[in-house]
């Protein structure tokens, strides 16, 4: 049973990055099934947020704002130089108005129950058991003992790219750096286990 939403939070979508060769375009504008990544994220977030802040570069913001159809709640946090995910969050979080803030990687698509996550509480990272993209072979010496086609790795948990953080985290954020390397290992966080779907931009062979 889904938990009834009690409150809304502001959202920061980390959307910096360009794709393509020659004439590049924002990865946030990558089409997946007739909708781009950013439109899919905003549609998913709509019932749970008052404001969506898109953190990206200046050129990306111009292209995104020109083509984005769902722009009613969107504001931009512009990076004039590369800041990394931690620096981008530090710059964008000052534009939020709620104590807890959802942070989303634009290239992680998932069906996490956001009402449940918000009720679970802040300073939380969403994690999931990944599915191996290849057939897994179990060996005993040179003999193949078992073959499992693209198994779910039930003993492994990975980052879904979705975080609910309290705004007080700003004091721990560097001006430039990585959330995963420079922030998360040094603060106390909880894990919200997700058992639904999760896909990354890499699943769509865009590298």
Residue 70 domain flag: yes
- The CATH number that applies at residue 98 is 3.90.550.10
Domain that holds residue 55: 10-196
pLDDT at 184: 95
pLDDT at 81 over 80: yes
Percent of the chain with pLDDT strictly greater than 70 = 91
Tens digits of residue pLDDT in 5-33: 468 999 999 999 888 777 788 899 888 88
DSSP state of 156: -
For 170-187, give the DSSP string: GGG--SS--IIIIIGGGS
Q: Total domain count for the chain?
A: 1
pLDDT tens, 164-175? 999 999 999 999
45-72 mean pLDDT: 86
Domain-embedded: residue 4 = no
* pLDDT reading at 67 higher than 70: yes
* Residue 125 counted as domain residue: yes
Predicted local distance difference test score (pLDDT) of residue 45: 93
Pairing of strands 136-140, 124-128: unpaired
Domain assignment present for 1:
no
The model carries a pTM of 0.88
Residue 56 and residue 28 in contact, taking contact as beta carbons nearer than 8 Å: yes
Q: How much is the average pLDDT of 78-103?
A: 95
In a domain, 2, yes or no: no
* Cα distances (Å, whole numbers) of residue 2 to 112, 113, 163, 195: 11, 8, 19, 14
> Where would I find the H helices in the chain?
37-45, 58-67, 84-93, 114-120
Decide if 5 is inside a domain. Answer: no
Q: How far apart are CA 49 and CA 98, in angstroms?
A: 10
Asked whether residue 204 is assigned to any structural domain, the reply reads no
Residue 185 lies in a domain: yes
pLDDT tens-digit readout, 101-116:
999 999 999 999 999 9
Overall size of the chain counted in residues: 207
């Amino acid at each position: 049973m889904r938990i009834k939403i009690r409150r809304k939070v502001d959202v920061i979508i980390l959307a910096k990055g360009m794709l393509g060769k020659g004439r590049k375009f924002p990865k946030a504008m990558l089409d997946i099934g007739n909708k781009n990544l950013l439109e899919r994220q905003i549609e998913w977030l709509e019932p749970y947020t008052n404001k969506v802040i898109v953190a990206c570069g200046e050129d990306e913001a111009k292209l995104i704002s020109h083509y984005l159809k769902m722009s009613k709640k969107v504001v931009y946090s512009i990076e004039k130089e590369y800041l990394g995910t931690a620096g981008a969050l530090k710059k964008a979080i000052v534009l939020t108005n709620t104590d807890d803030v959802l942070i989303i990687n634009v290239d992680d698509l998932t069906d996490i129950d956001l009402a449940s996550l918000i009720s679970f509480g802040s300073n939380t990272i969403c994690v999931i058991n990944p599915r191996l993209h290849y057939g897994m072979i179990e060996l005993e010496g040179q003999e193949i003992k078992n073959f499992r086609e693209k198994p779910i790795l039930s003993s492994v948990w990975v980052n879904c790219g979705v975080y609910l953080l309290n705004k007080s985290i700003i004091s721990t954020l560097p001006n430039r750096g990585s959330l995963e390397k420079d922030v998360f290992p040094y603060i106390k966080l909880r894990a919200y286990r997700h058992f639904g779907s999760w896909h990354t931009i890499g699943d769509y062979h865009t590298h």
